[in-house]
């Protein structure tokens, strides 16, 4: 459906536009990740480990906004693929720490490149400055 065919009262609502853009982004990300045998959750988990270092499954899930049942499944996949490792937490032996492996770091770079292409496709009509402004505005709206 063309945007012009949408009622003006919808087209002028940021919430409606954000929702439609998010749906398109979700579809594009799913297609792109599927093409490289990846998942958006994998990228989020690997990115969190890369930025913040080893952490618990619960804390990683909180940082990424991933439900614990999904975290368990994603970590099982990432562990089987050799992208993360589980080790006992020296400060609390009852807890495991999840650590990014060298193979996981390489996988993160591939997924990051894939997602960069999605950003370009999704936002191709915006200049670099407009993309930065959009990112800043959306970040403020989430505060």
Q: Where are the domains of the chain?
A: 32-110
What is the C-alpha separation between 49 and 13, in angstroms, rounded?
37
- Quick one: pLDDT band at residue 13, thresholds 50, 70, 90? very high
Mean pLDDT of 44-73: 96
Mean pLDDT of 91-107: 93
Instruction: Calculate the average pLDDT of the chain.
Output: 94
Helix (H) or strand (E) holding 33: helix 14-35
Helix (H) or strand (E) holding 49: helix 40-52
pLDDT of residue 90: 87
9: how many CB neighbours lie within 10 A of its CB? 8
The model's pTM: 0.89
CATH classification code of 32-110: 1.10.10.10
pLDDT higher than threshold 80 for residue 60:
yes
């Amino acid at each position: 459906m063309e945007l012009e065919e949408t009622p003006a009262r919808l087209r002028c609502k940021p919430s409606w536009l954000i929702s439609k853009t998010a749906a398109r982004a979700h579809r594009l990300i799913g297609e792109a990740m599927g093409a490289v045998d990846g998942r958006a959750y994998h990228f989020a988990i690997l990115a969190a480990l890369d930025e913040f270092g080893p952490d618990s499954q619960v804390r990683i899930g909180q940082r990424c906004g991933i439900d614990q049942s999904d975290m368990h499944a994603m970590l099982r996949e990432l562990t089987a693929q050799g992208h993360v490792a589980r080790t006992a937490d020296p400060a609390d032996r009852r807890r495991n720490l999840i650590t990014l492996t060298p193979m996981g770091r390489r996988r993160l770079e591939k997924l990051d490149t894939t997602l960069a292409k999605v950003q370009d496709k999704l936002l191709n009509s915006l200049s670099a400055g407009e993309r930065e402004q959009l990112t800043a505005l959306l970040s403020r709206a989430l505060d």
